[in-house]
């Protein structure tokens, strides 16, 4: 496999080994039958979380996006932003991070923001983008603090049009976020990478899912 895509392919193998990425038949929230399923909640021990942080950090550094700090939307984004900041520090890029609470705290330091002061150019870190709700809330909080959101970093871009099994939209959730906020969305890997990985794989068990993934992309995928 191409060294150009080494971070993507290594991440896909990592997700498979952790059973975070699996193949079969899964019903999505939109009611579609997907041949694959990705659940970042499966990165649930110290070793996996550490490795995940390094995949995020590599993807961010490879993007060449200029940033001053990281922001993780509650709840999943909290552990992701912490893991990524640790990985970046180990790579020689020590940057502050912050995250939000779901409910404002009325004692102690108070407020909804925790961590470093939110300022400068901020990268939002999450697992995936579905409806874009957490990104929308994050952008509002960051801008209200006088800072500038500059990108969103996610684990997997499904490159899938919004809508249901029968009513298919024109854009994906990622494209909608990019259009609404004018922010680039960087992913560690995407559906295109997954298809390339399956095509190049010597694992016959994995290869048998390739036709189903191709068909799913043809029906619901964005270009």
Catalytic (active-site) positions? 105, 107
**Distance of alpha carbon 75 from alpha carbon 188, whole angstroms:** 20
**Distance of alpha carbon 29 from alpha carbon 82, whole angstroms:** 28
**Distance of alpha carbon 138 from alpha carbon 72, whole angstroms:** 8
CA-based nearest residue to 75, from 127, 142, 139, 16: 127
Cβ pair 73, 67 in contact under 8 A: no
Secondary structure of 145-204 as H, E, C letters: CCCEEEEEEEEEECCEEEECCCCEEEEEHHHHHHHHHCCCEEEEEEHHHHHHHHHHCCCH
CA-based nearest residue to 15, from 125, 124, 156, 152: 156
φ/ψ (deg, to 5) at 188: -65, -45
CA-based nearest residue to 56, from 81, 76, 75, 22: 81
């Amino acid at each position: 496999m191409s060294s150009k895509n080494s971070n993507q392919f290594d991440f896909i193998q990592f997700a498979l080994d952790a059973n975070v990425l699996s193949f079969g038949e899964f019903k999505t929230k939109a009611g579609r039958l997907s041949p694959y399923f990705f659940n970042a909640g499966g990165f649930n021990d110290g070793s996996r979380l550490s490795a995940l942080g390094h995949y995020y950090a590599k993807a961010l550094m490879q993007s060449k996006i200029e940033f001053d700090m990281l922001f993780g939307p509650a709840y999943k984004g909290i552990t992701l932003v912490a893991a990524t900041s640790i990985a970046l520090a180990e790579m020689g890029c020590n940057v502050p991070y912050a995250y939000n609470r779901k409910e404002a705290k009325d004692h102690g330091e108070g407020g909804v923001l925790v961590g470093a002061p939110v300022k400068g150019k901020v990268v939002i870190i999450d697992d995936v983008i579905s409806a874009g709700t957490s990104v929308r809330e994050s952008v509002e909080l960051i801008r209200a603090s006088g800072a500038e959101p500059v990108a969103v970093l996610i684990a997997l871009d499904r490159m899938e049009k919004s809508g249901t099994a029968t009513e298919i939209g024109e854009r994906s959730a990622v494209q909608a976020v990019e259009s609404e906020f004018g922010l680039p969305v960087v992913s560690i890997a995407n559906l295109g990478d997954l298809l390339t990985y399956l095509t190049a794989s010597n694992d016959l068990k994995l290869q048998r899912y390739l036709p189903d993934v191709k068909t799913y992309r043809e029906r619901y995928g964005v270009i």
